[in-house]
Amino acid sequence: MNKGLFITFEGPDGSGKTTVSTAVTQRLEAEGYQVRYTREPGGSNIAEEIRHIILDPKNTDMDARTEALLYAASRRQHLSDKVLPALENGIHVISDRFVDSSLAYQGCGRQIGIDEVYNINQFAIEGHMPDKTIFLQIDAETGLKRIQKGRAVLDRLDQESIEFHQRVHQGYEEILKKYADRMIIVDATKDVDEVIEQAYTIVKGLLDACESA
Ligand code: TMP
């Protein structure tokens, strides 16, 4: 039996990742593909509890390195509870965010440095990187406007300054260059149905290639 494919969706806040990745998963499931949908931070019971601590707007005085370690801890639990067992059983995994989010948000947004954040995450992921990443590209201002319009409650990260979100954006630009072979860029400023269609076609192609290998 082939191992499943590990596909992640990445992008700044307001890029539409959750809408697009859930729609793509539902279509693939309806067509009979064995796909498990998940998200970070969270995705399994203990990891969701850590998510709650990280995103609670009350925790304004959380230290940047504590934040990075909590994301990594949540990721470890999620990986061992949900991602690795599925992949081992030949089930494809689609995750809304993974380690690239920590590189962009904690590495650049919080200015800890991409390499430092990568190193602490290695302890958590033991080399398990995604096979492919769909990157939904949108500028920081447009992304932020979308979430301010669309969300009833803003979490602790959503409430960060535009400068923070601009640094996250620059971080993603660096990650796109660093992992160019893994990254597939989709223009997220287009109409959502068009973005879903494009992402669906890409992911279906990847799963078909994996299953026929
Ligand atoms: P979400 O809005 O995609 O559910 O993610 C919650 C917030 O957490 C979002 O602002 C991005 C942020 N985040 C990080 O800062 N580092 C990470 O490693 C992950 C997975 C998310």
Q: What does the chain look like in DSSP terms, one character per residue?
A: -PPPPEEEEE--TTS-HHHHHHHHHHHHHHTT--EEEEESS-SSHHHHHHHHHHH-TT-TT--HHHHHHHHHHHHHHHIIIIIHHHHHTT-EEEEE--HHHHIIIIIIIS-S-HHHHHHHHHHHHTT---SEEEEEE--HHHHHHHHHHH-SS--TTTTS-HHHHHHHHHHHHHHHHHTTTTEEEEETTS-HHHHHHHHHHHHHHHHHHHHT-
Nearest Cα residue to atom 12 of ligand 1: 157
Residue 135 alpha carbon to ligand 1 centre in Å: 14
pTM of the model: 0.96
Higher-confidence position of 123 and 148 = 123
pLDDT of amino acid 152: 72
How far is the centre of ligand 1, averaged over its atoms, from the C-alpha of 101 (Å)?
6
* pLDDT at residue 156, as a whole number: 86
The whole-number average pLDDT for the span 45-62 is: 95
Mean pLDDT across 70-94: 98
Residue 85: pLDDT over 90: yes
pLDDT over 90, % of the chain: 89
> What do you get for the CA distance between the two ends of the chain, in Å?
11
**Average pLDDT, integer, range 83-103:** 98
pLDDT of residue 168: 97
The pLDDT score that the predictor gives to residue 149 is 84
Residue-level pLDDT at 93? 98
Residue in 36, 58, 12, 61 with CA at minimum distance from that of residue 189: 12
197: Cβ–Cβ under 8 A, 6 or more apart, which residues? Answer: none
Instruction: Give the pLDDT score at 151.
Output: 76
For the segment 124-180, what is each residue's pLDDT rounded down to a tens digit? 999 999 999 999 999 988 998 998 887 777 888 888 889 999 999 999 999 999 999
Atom of ligand 1 nearest to the CA of 160: 10
Which residues sit with their C-beta closer than 6 Å to ligand 1? 13, 40-41, 55, 71, 97, 101-102, 105-106, 157-158
Cα separation, 61 vs 84, in Å, equals 34
Q: What is the pLDDT of residue 155?
A: 86
